[in-house]
Chain A
Amino acid sequence: MKHKLTLIFFAIATMTVSMMLAYYFPAIKAKPDLFLIFVVFIAITSDKTSDIFIAFSLGYIFDILSGCPVGLYAMLRTITFVALRLFNMNLFSKNALFFTITTFMISVPDSIYLGYRFNYASGFFSILGHALYLSFINAGTALLLYPLLEKLEHKFLISREEIKGNY
């Protein structure tokens, strides 16, 4: 329960920070997608299946607050979470480099799809360029945020039983 409440709290905090970034820096058109970074983080660090609901809910709220067709981000974030959980079972280890690379790898197709969905008239290479640019911003932000997220994870997300289990 504590794990869930903590995740919901951080989800609301992520949403608030995202909205404030948009409000205070309207001239910056390419802002880091904190929602995506958060979903990537919980997907590769948490082993609780029920966290998929957090990814879905975050996407759903993002849809409503951003003016996108409702269901778009909910679907994308659910797919992101599942894809990463499947890879996570076999491949990933927890460190900053993997987190950054994963964010970049997830961000590229995500941005290409969204670019195609909203700016298809711009042409493929323009969308690809913008998607890569956004992905670098997301990956950079993920790298910067990793120490903070890791601390939060150790402090709040790992339950007492899990710590006991580790020893």
Chain B
Amino acid sequence: MLNFIRQHRLAIISIALFFISLNIYSANIKSRNDLNGFQRLIVDITMPVQNLTGNITSSFYNTIDSYIFLVNAKNKNIKLKKDVNKLNARIEELKELEIANDRLRGLLDFKKTLKNKVVSAEVVSRGPSNWLNTIIIDKGENDGIFPGLAVITENGIVGHTIYTSNNYSQILLMVDKNSSVDIIDQRSRAQGIVKGSKDNLCKVDYVLSKEDVKVDDIIISSGLDGIYPKGLLVGQIQDVTKNRYDLFQKVTLKPFVDFDKLEEVLIIIREKELLEEIQQITENKEL
């Protein structure tokens, strides 16, 4: 028996691991369950490593940028160049501070206009998968965040939380093909569902051909999906194609948010029980 196990070690371990992973996968395939304690621990351990490496890399690049060209300079120019460099670095730093200040002021002004309680967070990483558009932020369950909360900036909707650990949360971006937002046209009140598409653009599905939708129309959230409150900015219509025989129009939307330059975001906090109740009602309706 022992010999048999030894001889077929690879096969036995492979089959065991395959069934373990299949079991975990099938438990998560239909609905995204909350991360368990072990999975949260992995996120809480790996993200600080990622942060630290990012900071070291940034410092390394900054050092190279600032000083590498001074190495071979003549002695009499070293001090002057260093001073110029320092001043330039200081100017850049101040510029960066000014930009960050403007950005944060905008975010703060926007935060004041919101009725719901919001938590601000910083983007610390992006998901490594080629198939999912996700970001990771530095706020988690300790700050009252749980899966299914809307994430926004002053420009509009960013996405929603899918996984949370104690100190970090993962956001599925609105431009991901697996994401959807229930919307209305601000001008004509036409309804539809925004889904992610290619090149940071979105498509609007289920807009009836009879509806009046025009290029440059502003699109806002309808609040019907149970995740995004009503009235949040989503984007602007970029292209509309109508075919007289089709039931629905083909509508392309350009989101207001620049998803490649996300640095700070706001998470709209809602009562977990209320959100679960809304999601339950939505699921029942779908059934």
Q: Which A residues contact B (CB, under 8 angstroms)?
A: 12, 15-16, 18-23, 26-27, 29-31, 33, 35, 49-50, 52-53, 56, 59-62, 64-72, 74-75, 78-79, 81-82, 85, 111, 114-115, 117-119, 121-122, 134
Q: Are A49 and B28 in contact (CB under 8 A)?
A: no
Interface size on B, residues (CB 8 A): 47
Given A16-B50, A20-B54, A49-B13, verify A71-B130 contact (CB < 8 Å): no
Q: Are A70 and B125 in contact (CB under 8 A)?
A: no
Distance of A166 from chain B, by nearest CB (Å): 23
Given A70-B39, A71-B24, A78-B21, verify A30-B10 contact (CB < 8 Å): no
Asked if B75 is an interface residue, CB under 8 A from chain A, the answer is no
* 13 sampled A-B residue pairs with Cβ under 8 A: A16-B53, A18-B128, A20-B54, A21-B128, A64-B35, A67-B129, A67-B163, A67-B172, A69-B25, A71-B21, A71-B24, A74-B17, A121-B177
A119, closest chain B residue (CB): B177
Q: Are A62 and B43 in contact (CB under 8 A)?
A: no
Q: Which residues of B contact A82 (CB under 8 A)?
A: 10, 14, 18
Q: Which residues of A contact B127 (CB under 8 A)?
A: 22, 65-67
Q: Are B178 and A52 in contact (CB under 8 A)?
A: no
Given A26-B260, A74-B25, A85-B10, verify A67-B132 contact (CB < 8 Å): yes
User: Could you list 14 further interchain pairs (A-B, Cβ under 8 angstroms) beyond the known A49-B13, A53-B17, A71-B27?
Assistant: A19-B125, A20-B54, A49-B10, A56-B21, A65-B128, A66-B128, A66-B134, A69-B25, A69-B29, A70-B28, A72-B25, A78-B21, A118-B131, A121-B177
Q: Which residues of A contact B23 (CB under 8 A)?
A: 71
Asked if B9 is an interface residue, CB under 8 A from chain A, the answer is yes
Q: How far is the CA of A122 from the CA of B9 in the complex (A)?
A: 41
Q: Which residues of A contact B53 (CB under 8 A)?
A: 16, 20
Asked if B79 is an interface residue, CB under 8 A from chain A, the answer is no
Q: How far is the CA of A148 from the CA of B127 in the complex (A)?
A: 25
Distance of B263 from chain A, by nearest CB (Å): 11
Q: How far is the CA of A78 from the CA of B25 in the complex (A)?
A: 13
Distance of B85 from chain A, by nearest CB (Å): 24
